Amino acid sequence: MEKRFFVLVLAGLALPGAAAAQDSAGDRPTDAPRIIVTGERIPRTQADTASSVSLVSGDDAEKASADRLDQILALVPNVQLGTGEEGPAIRGQDSTGQLRNLFAFLGGARPRVTLQVDGRPVSFYEFISGSQSAWDIAQVEVFRSPQTTTQGRNSIAGAIFVTSKDPTPDWEGRARAIVGDFDTRQFSAMVSGPIVEDQIAFRASGDVRFSTVSSDMTDGIPGADIDRDDYGTARLKVKVTPTALPGASVETTLAYTRSQAPQFEGVSKPFEDRKLPIPNQMIGVMKVEATSLTSRAEIEMADGLRSTLTVSYGDAVLRRFGLPGLGKTRADTSDFSVEQTLRWQPSSAFDLVVGANRLTQDQTQSIDITGLGIGTGKFDDDQDSLGILGEANWHLLSTLSLIAGLRYQRDRQIRVGNVGTIMLNYDRTFDAWLPKVSLAYEPYPDFTAGLLVQRAYNPGGTSISFRRRAEDSFEAEKLWNYELFMRVRSSDGRASFAANAFYNDISDAQRSQLVPFTLPNGEVTYFSEFANAPAARSYGLEAEIAWRVNDRLDARLGMGLLDTRVTETVTPRDTTLGKEFQRSPGLSAMAAIDWRPVDRFELSAQLRHHSSYYSDDANTQTLRISPSTILDARVEYEFGPVSVFGYVRNLFDEFSLTYLITPNFGTAIEPRAAGVGLEARF
């Protein structure tokens, strides 16, 4: 029924495309576009943004044949993708947070990265266990610098912003169909146009994809198919720009997403066979369904004074299907957020933003882990976050500008429940003052260099220790972030260069630690618990080049260097002392070209590489991941309003592991996968 529903919706959206069409080919601009960064509230070009940020346009995503967000993130330097039950690691910091899989469920989760889609911070399970479609997006912004001063909670390791395309004042539409390896079938459509001329416009889009996984995993899970990897998205966006209120606008987005996939695709030795012959208790099937409504209103209150109000509501349901007694779960999450900002620009030399935001999240959870000898459990989790912020931008001189900001952040979590006989009654509030200063020097146009210093933090949290059969809580983690940045653009506009060198001084890092406990007989023993390492650090570099070589060839290069270390532990005997963070390769790089040798034909290719890294903080040699280099390619030919394309991911069928849970059990990159598609535009 769900499949038929999505196909019918997409067919309805595609019908207008058959009525009218026109040639979309046109002259390409001679210079590279200046993409506007919006994630830090004040729209800026990348040249004016001190934070390290990678920008991926919707066009770039399509040329990379990316059908979901993960495939876009794979092209970003110093970002390492997760296994399916983990989010991406940015600069070696796992976005999932300290709590993963079962323990994230038992504790309510504390991620380190926020994912915003059209202004709404999505819930934990939408981010980690769901799929975010890449269809009909305008751009993706991946911030590698901490974003606590601008975004508040869950952004100490950065932030990811996905913005879908806006409604258009003129009629336009697209429809696309793809078939490929692993039984892939994907259908996408979009239609946009006016409702009231020059005042109200809409955009409706849908994307549905059905496929099977690439690993041959034995299925022993009742109620779900471990071989399915499916998702669907439907979105309606309406923008109102009343002529009676010049400069005012209201944009409202209604979105529905659902996905089903295994928790991760496991493989066992021999790994190259991509098989898991025995059902594994760690792997469940995750079904995520979410509905959200977001509205953003802007109005010019006076000359130079602008108000922006963003309100969002979301309702998400996670269901995990597992082996009997081994993690059948359900989590119902509702979130509400409201943010009000005022921007005052009395002159071109001064810009001030002040605002406040509030986010609440209510969650009810149930779980069955009787197979572990624990029992069943239920939890109620309420989280409340408040942020008050201000940021000023002064042009001190014609060549020197200063940005100074300050945020007060308060986060509270109330979690009550039990699993088996283990009770949890947790109520903690964390708060922090978070300053930010950036100084930029621009000796001549199209060259900027500067310094960024900021404070970041992530609140503490809780879970359950099965060893002690008790609460296992940890404190907030904090860091000072220092960055040098440079932005250069060629005089003809064809090339741009962006680089950030950074150092993070981390205190009370949230990591598993060897913690001493005194037994009833007075003997001291040590257990690995969720805790805080007193000190850690990371430093590195990101550099990206975009070059329009000529009117037919574009090239992009990116590189990330990274060095991480746990420098102090709770006890000197901890095996993580002096070791690098897990999932933190020292080198990551990408290269991409888009070539149009003749009109209507385009060839795109993307090369991505990472050096070796470890799957654990103890840097166990048997859990070391080898370097990997992957090449993807896509060709497209246009026939007026219709285009035919083909793609191959992992062209040379490179095999590499991505994570090792044990020396004999882990996850691997996807094998070679090819597909063809047809797209029509009007």
Please name the residues in contact with 642: beta carbons below 8 A apart, sequence gap of 6 or more.
21, 678, 679, 680, 681
What does 57-94 look like in DSSP terms, one character per residue? EHHHHHHTT--BHHHHHTTSTTEE---SSS--EETTEE
Please report which residue ranges of 90-161 form alpha helices under DSSP H.
101-107, 124-128, 148-151
Q: How far is CA 38 from CA 41, 45, 386, 448, in A?
A: 6, 9, 21, 19
The pLDDT, as a whole number, for residue 519 is 67
What would the two tokens of residue 520 be? 């009833």
Higher pLDDT, residue 477 or 47? 477
Q: What is the DSSP string of 571-596?
A: STT-TTTTPPPTT--SEEEEEEEEE-
CA distance 530 to 96: 14
Q: Is 269 exposed, middle or buried (0-12, 13-18, 19+ CB in 10 A)?
A: exposed
C-alpha closest to that of 2 among 202, 223, 260, 199: 260
* Per-residue pLDDT band at 31 (split at 50, 70, 90): low
Q: How sure is the predictor about 33, in pLDDT bands with cuts at 50, 70 and 90? A: low
CA angle 187, 190, 193 (to 5 degrees): 165
**Above 90 in pLDDT, residue 153?**
no
Reported as a single tens digit per residue, the pLDDT across 320-342 is 999 999 889 999 999 999 999 99
Q: Which helix (H) or strand (E) holds 503?
A: strand 495-518
pLDDT of residue 161: 96
Residue 311 pairs with which residues in a beta bridge? 295, 338
Kind plus residue range of the DSSP H or E element containing 378? strand 375-395
Residue that is written with structure tokens 């859990």 in the block: 623
pLDDT at residue number 83:
74
Q: How confident is the model at residue 586 (pLDDT cuts 50, 70, 90)?
A: very high
Which amino acid does the sequence have at 374?
I
* Amino acid 9: pLDDT: 36
Three-state DSSP class for residue 678: strand
What pLDDT is recorded for position 26? Answer: 44
pLDDT per position as a tens digit, 423-434: 999 999 999 999
Residue 112: pLDDT band (50, 70, 90) is: very high
Mean pLDDT of 246-271: 95
Residue 32: pLDDT over 70: no
**DSSP helix/strand/coil, 250:** strand
Is the pLDDT score of 105 beyond 90?
Answer: no
- Looking at residue 15, its pLDDT comes to 40
Rounded Cα gap, residues 218 and 489, in angstroms: 53
- Nearest Cα to Cα of residue 313 among 115, 111, 121, 162: 121
Query: Closest by alpha carbon to 477, among 418, 530, 549?
Result: 530
Tokens at 510, concatenated:
């949230």
**Residue 394: pLDDT above 70?**
yes
Q: What is the mean pLDDT of the chain?
A: 91
pLDDT band at 30 (very low <50, low <70, confident <90, very high): low
**Model pTM score:** 0.93
Give phi and psi for 449, each to the nearest 5: -140, 150
Decide: residue 427, CB within 10 A, 0-12 exposed, 13-18 middle, 19+ buried: exposed
pLDDT tops 80 at residue 526 = no
What H or E segment, with its residue span, contains residue 11? helix 2-14
List, in sequence order, every residue forming a beta bridge with 540; answer none if it has no partner.
502, 562
Local confidence band at 566 (pLDDT 50, 70, 90 cut-offs): very high
CA distance 234 to 286: 20
Q: CA 61, CA 634: separation in Å to the nearest integer?
A: 11
Measured CA to CA in angstroms, residue 601 lies from 160, 370, 643 at distances of 32, 59, 9
Residue 54: per-residue pLDDT = 95
Average pLDDT of 278-299? 94
Residue 521 has pLDDT above 90, yes or no: no
Neighbours of 551 (CB within 10 A): 12
**Do the strands 113-117 and 158-164 form a parallel or antiparallel pair, or are they unpaired?**
parallel
For the domain bounded by 2-681, which CATH number is listed?
2.40.170.20
609: alpha, beta or left? (left if phi > 0; alpha if psi -120 to 50): beta
- Checking phi first, is residue 518 left (phi over 0); if not, alpha (psi -120 to 50) or beta? beta
Contact 156/457 with Cβ under 8 angstroms? yes
In tens, the pLDDT along 638-674 reads 999 999 999 999 999 999 999 999 999 999 999 999 9
Above 80 in pLDDT, residue 524?
A: no
Q: What is the pLDDT of residues 2-26, one digit of tens each?
A: 344 344 333 443 443 333 333 333 4
